[in-house]
Amino acid sequence: MGSTASTSTSTSRSEHQSSSRSVDEVPTDMSGRRPRRGDLIEIFRGSYRHWAVYVGDGSVVHLVVPSFNSITVITQRGVVREENLRAVVGNDQWQINNSLDSTHNPRPADVIVTEARSWVGREITYHSIRSNCEHFATERRYGVSASQQVPQGVENFARAWDTVTDTVTDTVTDTVNNAVTNAATVIHAVTNPATVTAGLGRLW
């Protein structure tokens, strides 16, 4: 019995030490806090901030854009990846930022993590104003996309502009299609033997 108790105590201590090592492997943010599953990670990168969702075991899920340039990139294709938090952060400062919890109800951690991981490997459209990495992260946590680094007025303008350009594009497309159809009708009429014969008959 003594041996069994000793083994039990040893196992418990071993598990605790293993757990401690696991916790120690998770980095701390600029305020000394360790992230928990479902937390949003804000990374400071000069002129912009990159966002990710912490999914546990030192990993994050985030929207990545190849050759990103915060000045020139407006829209392009991005891919969702799960990567090590330390590798993503590099030498940049970062923090846990769930500040929208004050106005939005965060979903359960399991839901956030499961949904975030379900996007891994998928290509989606990145738009710096209305569909950026922060929009992706906040939508996973709250079910609603939002971006604190994009003023609401700018975002509304971008959406309105997209509506206008879509309308103009549709109008131009319809006009061109109608012109082509009319031209085809005229060409057919001119080259139709019956039409030519009838026209010559009227001349005679």
50 is catalytic: yes
Q: 103 and 165 in one domain?
A: no
Total domains in the fold of the chain: 2
- In this structure, are 59 and 108 located in the same domain? yes
User: Which residue in 16, 104, 127, 133 is the catalytic one?
Assistant: 133
How confident is the prediction along the chain (204 residues), in pLDDT tens digits per residue?
433 343 333 333 333 333 343 555 789 999 999 999 999 999 999 888 999 999 999 999 999 987 655 555 567 889 999 999 999 999 999 999 999 999 999 999 999 999 999 999 999 999 888 889 999 999 999 999 998 877 644 545 445 545 655 555 555 555 556 655 665 565 555 555 555 455 445 445
Burial of 90 (0-12, 13-18, 19+ CB in 10 A): exposed
Domain edge (last residue) among 112, 129, 150: 150
User: Tell me, what's the pLDDT at 7?
Assistant: 34
> Is 133 an active-site residue?
yes
In the numeric block, the tokens 């990545």 are attached to 64
Residue 133 and residue 46: Cα distance in Å, rounded? 16
- Catalytic status, residue 16: no
Pair (139, 123) in one structural domain: yes
Looking up tokens 């080259």, which residue turns up?
Answer: 191
In a domain, 49, yes or no: yes
Of 62, 104, 127, 188, which residue is the catalytic one?
62
Query: 34 and 132 in one domain?
Result: yes
Catalytic residue among 50, 104, 127, 135: 50
Range of the domain at 176: 157-203
Q: pLDDT at position 179, please?
A: 59
pTM: 0.63
